[in-house]
Structure 1
Amino acid sequence: MKKLTIATALLAATASLAAINANAYQAEVGGNYNRIDNDNTKDLNQFGVNGTYYFNQVQVKDSPLAEAAFLDRASNVNAEVKYADNSGNKNTQYGVGAEYFVPNSDFYLSGNVGRSEYKVDNTNIDTKTTTYGAEVGYLPAPGLLVAAGAQGYDTEHGDDDVNPTLRAKYVTTLQNGHDINLEARGVFGSDDNKQYSAGADYYIDKTLSFGADYQKDKAIDQDQWGIRAKKFFDQNLSVEGRLGFGDDYNTYTIGANYRF
């Protein structure tokens, strides 16, 4: 009887561990397509790919699938590339970043560096800009992150600027059992460099969310409202989309991601 009890316990533990690992992942890759319909210029098309590698397996637990890595405080490195060629107007953007949740504490660090190259064939327009940013954050409560930092840029012609940033993100469960994500970010430079964004997502269930956002960039004198949605077909595969509405332009974005 004792041997049977031990064997039963081992089988239960093995089944439990298998179930946990089935809901865990360590990397995610994705692709997206973005279209800009502008009333004053030609329409623009851009393609992108991205990837994230987590230092440890992300445990999904009972989290909304889209927020599993954040709620699990999963440190990671990530990279992204975007490319557009519209009638000889070429725009390439690429960058790398990292997020680090300090073990056994509530502190958070992040950093990123990127490069933007814009060129128009048969003209003298050929600009290259390096961008960078860093943050220090704190998680005062489960699902809540507040981070402050700086972002800047440097062009090959010697133009540069650095501005302070402030960001907050909060994921929580409402009384009705559904989850919600709230996020906001600001860049507080000179009047010409201020940027603001805010968004919210409501999770119909752990696999499906609908949301809205607002973005304003004083540097290019543009603001935009957007609606967005994301759906996981299983633990690994998801699709997402966003519609953005500006004063004289609209944007359409679709993407897909796979975890493993």
Structure 2
Amino acid sequence: MKKLGLATALLLAMTGAQAYQFEVQGQSEFIDNTVNDKDFSGAVQGTYYFKDVDASKGPLAEAAFLNQASNVSASYTYGEYDVDADNIDQTSHTFGAKGEAYIPTKVVPAYASASYSHTITDNKGGVANDNGDRYALELGAVVAPNFLVAVGYTSVADQTSYDAFNMFNNGVAKAAIEKDTINEDQDAITARTKYVGAIDGTNMSIGFDAGLVYGEENAYNLGTTLYVTPKLSVGVSYLESDLADLNKAIGANVNYFITPAVAVGASFVDVNAENESRDTQTVGLNAKFRF
């Protein structure tokens, strides 16, 4: 009976079930810069939603957001980074746990999130290893239909530490800029907005997001996504920081749901280094499975 139940669940997912409670994602990025073209990362993320998520309306990629689906998730990213000229040989492990909650009120739905990330940096060649933590809290509200506004606080330890969920969702290059913008042993204030809405008279939708980080330095990002159909989306993004070196990143991505439960995608990020010859490009591939 257990085998029959598992087979039935798998069949429903593969053939287009319109509701889900679990989501598992995987991705890998290939990193090319002026000092090395052999770096890469691999990541996995799992999310559990407390109630079934209805994916029958709007873009499939935004089903959880449109449903205001409270959840818990875990993420892990592995990365390798080598620079022969500087004798840098690093292996990085970043773990994260996060909870998100949408809370109905008499005025507007309230939003809250809390996350913890831990980064282990394994340095070779005689350089000491590193372990770093970070904590983040956000509070906000859905001030209009499908329009979220949130502000937050992030605390970063006096060691290298990345946001595991930023790294997974936006790529290692942007996560590195965000990490350097806050710097080590710092507190940071963050703010962001997100909106997804239908385009009248069409089967398309449009999404916008923007964010600010106030740490040792400051950074802002802007992004927009066109959902050509509920299954297909294309997006572009821009990130700029006050950092003196790696301070601008332009990204593009495309995602397609083969079924309402299975999706694949690709991404590209170009990072401009103004004061040093270390421009960076990343190419990412990803897949997700819902059940």
TM-score, normalization: structure 1? Answer: 0.86
The partner residue of 2:187 within 162, 179, 190 is 162
3-state SS, counterpart of residue 228 of structure 2: strand
The Cα shift of 1:227 comes to 0.9
2:122 corresponds to: 119
SS at match of 1:155: coil
Among 58, 70, 74, the residue aligned to 2:69: 74
Using the alignment, how far apart are the partners of 1:79 and 1:195 within structure 2? 26
2:261 paired residue number? 236
Q: 1:149 aligns with which of 148, 152, 174?
A: 152
How far apart, CA to CA, are the structure 2 residues paired with 1:156 and 1:222?
21
Structure 1 unmatched ranges of 5 or more: 1-17
Q: Is the 8 A contact 2:159 2:185 kept in 1?
A: no
Matches within 5 A, 1:80-159: 80-86=75-81, 88-104=89-105, 105-155=108-158
The alpha carbon displacement at 1:228 in A equals 0.5
Paired residue total: 238
Instruction: Read off the aligned partner of 1:182 and give its amino acid letter.
Output: F
Indicate how the Cα distance of structure 1 residues 172 and 156 shifts in structure 2: closer, same or farther if over 3 A, else same: closer
Residue 250 of structure 2: aligned partner:
225
**Structure 1 stretches of 4+ moved >6 Å:** none
Q: What does the per-residue CA deviation read over 1:135-176, in whole Å, with 9 as the maximum and x for residues that have no partner?
A: 10111111100001111201359x511111110000011124
SS of the aligned residue for 2:68 comes to: coil
Secondary structure in structure 1 of the residue aligned to 2:259: coil
Native 8 Å contact 2:58 2:198 kept in 1: no
Does the Cα contact within 8 Å between 1:118 and 1:125 map onto a contact in 2? no
Paired with 1:259 and 1:144, the residues of 2 have a C-alpha distance of: 24
Aligned mates of 2:218, 2:38 — CA distance in 1: 26
Selected match of 2:60 from 54, 58, 65 = 65
Q: Judging changes above 3 Å, is the alpha-carbon distance between structure 1 residues 153 and 126 closer, same or farther for their aligned structure 2 residues?
A: same
Structure 2 residue ranges without an equivalent (≥5): 1-11, 83-88, 161-183, 273-278
What CA distance in whole angstroms lies between the structure 2 residues aligned with 1:72 and 1:66?
A: 12
* Matched residue SS, 2:62: helix
2:229 maps to which residue? 205
Matched residue, 1:10: none
CA contact (8 A) 1:128 1:155 kept: no
Q: For the Cα contact (< 8 Å) 1:144–1:168, is it kept in 2?
A: yes
Equivalent position SS for 1:67: helix
Identity of aligned residues (%): 29
Higher relative contact order (CA 8 A, sep 6+): 2
1:128, 1:218 → 2: CA distance? 26
